[in-house]
A and B are shown apart, each in its own frame.
Chain A
Amino acid sequence: MKKLLSGNEALAYGALRAGVKVVSGYPGTPSSEVIASLLEMDLPGTFVEWSTNEKVGFEVAAGASMTGHRALCTMKMSGLNVCYDSLIGVAYSGCPGGLVVFVADDPGVSAGMCEQDTRGFAVMSDMPMLEPCSLQEIYDMTIIAFDLAEKIGGPVFLRLVTNNSQSHGTIEIEEKIKPADSAPMPPYDPAKYTKAGAAICMQQHRDLIERLELSERYIEEHGLNKLALGKKGGLGIVSVGITNGYTSEALDRLAAAGIDISDISTLRLIATVPYAKKKIDSLLENCSKVLIVEELEGYIEKFCYMEAYKNKFDVRFFGKEDGTFSRIGQYDALLVENGIRSALDMPRTDISLAEPPERLCAARPIGFCAGCPHRGTYMGLEKGLNACGYKKTDVFITGDIGCTILGSCPPFDILWTELSMGASIPFAHGVAYSGIPSPVIATIGDSTFFHAGVPGLVNALQHDINMLVVILDNGWTAMTGMQINPGTHQEFQKTNWKQLDIESLVRGIGVKHMWTVDPYDANAMAQATEQALKTEGLKVILARRECAIQAARRKVKYPQITFSPDSCVGCKKCINVTGCPAIELSGKIIAIDGMQCNNCGLCTGVCPTKALRAAG
């Protein structure tokens, strides 16, 4: 049947068709919709979960795979850094059930974080990685990835990029297959499933390399890579995954411009790893010039140079090494067209405008939503610092991943760093050792705290670090599109899942100085900050209030804010201090956008003339 789906949904349906038993992962744009869509479905026999972090998620999937079931783990590229320690271990051990690791890369950086190329992990861990291009290919290759993983007995990567994971179109799909309800006991096999001893480890290394060779044969036998040889001595093009689409389109553009492209040889790869040695050699032997089209890093290009050297092929390469393409950003058909034109010694297609139109565009910085509780936390934090005699610029405050990092944007401009999930606490810990003339504060959101914040807090507590940790608990993994986490209200947890309480956790490990405040009460936050900074040792402030967007969906109502235009003197303090998008200027005075305002009341605390007031 035909269905209108996104790339991530196509992947989810492919996994269901493959009879997947366990799907686990951690949210991260642009990968989140795989699990998000599966959690919406009724799937008897299949377990789907948002795990605490990517390492945990991968280990859950790997465990299921050890028993012979098929399992899928999902993440964005940054998540792979987190789970790699366990991933490499399973890659060496192998696993009987089809285990597929889905990673979404973000060339062009539409969602923040390092523009890293996950293909490097496939090279590093000798794991095959399938890189589909079109939406239909995503569905089909997902099914093949499970089959390939089972055939070689080891995990397989499936890599998408923002471009295709977020695209929508019609896809031909088939009925899902229900996985078995039970599994036999897996074999007791420490030589395979432990790393106890050099002999065991080196045998696993041998097995790993053999699995990669097996996968090369599988891909060859299934005809996944497509080689079309053109004229001997002519131009050849190698493309992979998403760049197969750019290349097809570039060739169409050239043909439409009346250029004869029939002599050009093409090699369309479904994967970078395993390197398609035979087909690459055939192409290099046939062509005098070869253009390699791969986004981000030049893995295939370097392999081509090596093969040409080994086989003494006389080929001139066009790619990243000679500056035809960049290692940075997302490609497009025009860029590839011009790459082909360079290789053919033809003039480039120039569409540049006299001056960039964007120069006139109004800058649009991101910031907190109307009603966001984090606004109150940062307003209160600054007020508390002021009460202790500090300006906000005097105090070193680390930030962390998620909505909480918007404290680094105007009008707050209060966070110095954003590194990786949970890093805010150990990073601040290190700074606290340095002897800088300022208090040290770490800020972190709830999901980030569960993800990787807890070990850092344990470490800071053990070593009696004099610093303040502010946990901004809005109850949701919000920035990636509102996923549940261990702290999300019980109402949203699946039947037998449990909501965990951050306050009990923090007190339970032995934090003595802790304040739990409502961030809609900026004064309470300020007082807690002041008290915390006057206390020696490790302090935690838990600023707890549900995300405004989610609260609104649950129809949570707050007392109406009233605005008296006659009392407004147009000082704009409410705009300058809160940066709330629900407050506008209307002539000389302000106006409240009733569509956006959720009556959080934070503006009433800064209005000097009481023009803004909470009712009642």
Chain B
Amino acid sequence: MNEHFDIYLVGVGGQGILTIADIITLAAVDKGIDVNFFPTKGMAQRGGFVKAQLRLGREPGSYSPSISPGGSDLIVSMELSETLKAVRYGKPGADYVILGQRWQPTAVMLGKAPYPDVDQVIGEIRGAGGVVHYLDPGNMPGEMRGNLYTLGAICAHSKLSEFFSKEDLEKIIADRWKAVAQSNIETFRAGYSAPTRTA
């Protein structure tokens, strides 16, 4: 098992990508693992680019919040096109857990600007030596929250599971939103067992 583990998360405002980082942070605190969670919202609002960097298991004070290019063990993306902004941060062999939702900018919607397709994105990741775990958003029940669904898939398909068990994360999710604990756990489990495309 690695001593430390770095995660780079990308998406757009309104998807709840920061909540994934939040849950992992709380799980780390719960287990006494050193953690640094660095969200970058910039001027982001709903629909704007959002990223977060999580660094687990490092000695306090001996590192910085930013992950170097080529340094992440795990890339998480909830927006297909935005995935491309994370690729330069993945180590060769890094896991990429992607929920392929498309939040199309206006120019794309009007047919005035291009938007990458799934094969192009997967091609770029493989070019960087990454291992793809692509979740087709069409498989996700509409009422479910994409972020907890993605977190389930992260737990199933990445080495984050060497730090936290499925139960560790479920406990944090249940404590965080007590009133909707059951449905949130179901979403997490649906993501955990969701089919993934790897090539």
Q: Interface on A for B, CB 8 Å cutoff?
A: 4, 29, 110-112, 133-137, 162-164, 166-170, 242, 245-246, 248-249, 252, 330, 332-335, 337, 351, 353-354, 356-358, 360-367, 369-370, 410-411, 479, 572, 575-576, 579, 581, 584-585, 596
Contact = CB atoms under 8 A, between A and B. Distances in A.
B87 interface: yes
B130 to A, nearest CB: 10
Interface stretch (B108-116, B159-167, B169-177): B108-116
Interface string B103-134: 01111111001111000110010011000000
Contact of A360 (B35, B38, B84): B84
B37 A362 contact: no
B66 interface: yes
A164 B43 CA distance: 18
Contacts of B61: 133-134, 136-137, 245, 248
B47 A585 contact: no
Interface residues of B, number: 53
Contacts of B43: 29, 111-112, 366, 479
Given A364-B12, A364-B47, A351 B69 contact: yes
B110 A361 contact: no
Given A163-B38, A360-B121, A572-B110, 12 more contacts: A4-B25, A169-B35, A245-B64, A249-B64, A252-B62, A332-B66, A332-B69, A337-B68, A353-B87, A357-B124, A362-B105, A585-B109
Nearest to A4: B29
B124 A167 contact: no
B63 A362 contact: no
A337 B116 CA distance: 34
A169 B37 contact: yes
Contact of A170 (B35, B108, B110, B115): B35
A249 B63 contact: yes
A410 B107 CA distance: 10
A594 B61 CA distance: 46
B81 A361 contact: yes
26 contacts: A110-B40, A110-B42, A111-B43, A134-B60, A136-B60, A168-B37, A170-B29, A248-B62, A249-B62, A249-B63, A332-B68, A353-B87, A357-B88, A360-B121, A360-B124, A361-B81, A361-B85, A362-B81, A363-B105, A364-B105, A366-B43, A366-B44, A575-B109, A576-B110, A581-B46, A581-B47
- A-B CB proximity, top 8 nearest: A245-B64, A351-B70, A334-B68, A357-B87, A134-B61, A357-B124, A362-B81, A361-B84
A163 B67 CA distance: 11
B126 to A, nearest CB: 11
A365 B43 CA distance: 11
B82 interface: yes
Contacts of B39: 166, 168
A111 B128 CA distance: 29
Contacts of A246: 64
